[in-house]
Amino acid sequence: MKHHTGSLEVICGSMFCGKTEELIRRLRRAEIARQKVQVFKPIIDTRYQVAKVASHSGAAFEALPIEKSSQIQERLNQDTTVVGIDEVQFFDPDILDIIQRLVNDNKRVICAGLDTDFRGEPFGVMPTLMAIAEHVDKLQAICMECGEPASRTQRLVNGKPAFYDDPIIIVGASEMYEARCRLHHKVPRK
């Protein structure tokens, strides 16, 4: 089933808010509708399964791990109509042109990623993707300090907030990160 027009959907938010779970839900629905689905993820994301996108709750979907965004077009099957991209914030800036080309080729592109880094600042290509998307969903997690809605990702080093000048990209899960509300999100030396 081919789409008449392409579109870009962005699912964003902090860690532990359900971005990948929502991506998987949409991909499964596309498969039920007999659409040809292909999913890509950055090769650096090895937290759960190498050849699958996986949520923290255990949901998983087959995916191709790639090193750079140009590999999406190299590995895209001709009959694919729905393209899923998880952890899109980790890809190089060329991902923007690739996504635009896919959408212009009448593909439905669904991206999931962190909208802000552990510092609380816009993360990689996410601000641009959110601006050019037809549909954006910003999900929230639960603050691990107070139980309120959380929109930030807190990186922890030995149980304490990471410093502002620490490296931006360190792949990890609950052992290194927590969801936090604005009030409880701390970034020393900012």
* Catalytic positions, written as ranges: 87
In three-state secondary structure terms, 12 is strand
CB within 8 A of 64, min separation 6: which ones?
Answer: 38, 39, 40, 41, 51, 71, 75
Cα distance between residue 190 and residue 187, in whole Å: 6
| Residue 188 DSSP class | T
Alpha carbon dihedral 91, 95, 96, 98, in 10-degree steps, equals -170
- The CB density around residue 91, as the number of other CB atoms within 10 Å, is 26
Which position has the token pair 């190089």?
92
Strands 141-142 and 149-150: antiparallel
What would the two tokens of residue 113 be?
A: 């990623």
Residue that has been written with the tokens 């080309």 in this structure: 101
Q: Which amino acid is at 130?
A: M
